[in-house]
Amino acid sequence: GAVVSQHPSRVICKSGTSVKIECRSLDFQATTMFWYRQFPKQSLMLMATSNEGSKATYEQGVEKDKFLINHASLTLSTLTVTSAHPEDSSFYICSASRGLPGVGFTNEQFFGPGTRLTVL
């Protein structure tokens, strides 16, 4: 159980275009999903936290108009990189937490396999 998928696994796009990355929890309902960015040989950097049906909370320094996050259902969150530029090239990883506070909530995060974005 607790499987998270991401699509696509790799994407190459031209500068100025927008790219959408999907994150799905396959066998559980994810009340909260997280989006991370990871540069080579570095740790995971949290970009934003999203709860189903509400606006995402972005970390300091992350442009909300550039990285659009939608968490429309308990199993799907999307990250759209708008007007992508070469400096946006990175490994984007989502994670999901299940449960609700007071009802078996855990702060475990289950990670997706990641999406490699290359902007030319």
12's tokens: 């190459």
Calpha distance 24→113 (Å, rounded):
11
User: Which of residues 75 and 115 has its CB atom nearest to another protein in the complex?
Assistant: 115
Least CB distance to another protein at residue 16 (A): 27
Q: Which of 12, 105, 118, 120 binds another protein (CB under 8 A)?
A: 105
User: Which of residues 80 and 114 has its CB atom nearest to another protein in the complex?
Assistant: 114
Calpha distance 92→30 (Å, rounded):
18
Q: Read out DSSP for 23-57?
A: EEESSS-EEEEEEEEE-TTS-EEEEEEEETTSPPE
Calpha distance 33→74 (Å, rounded):
9
Query: Binding pattern to another protein, positions 25-64, x when CB under 8 A?
Result: ---------x-------xxx-x--x---------------
Residues in touch with another protein (CB under 8 A): 4, 6, 34, 42-44, 46, 49, 93, 95, 101, 105, 107-114, 116
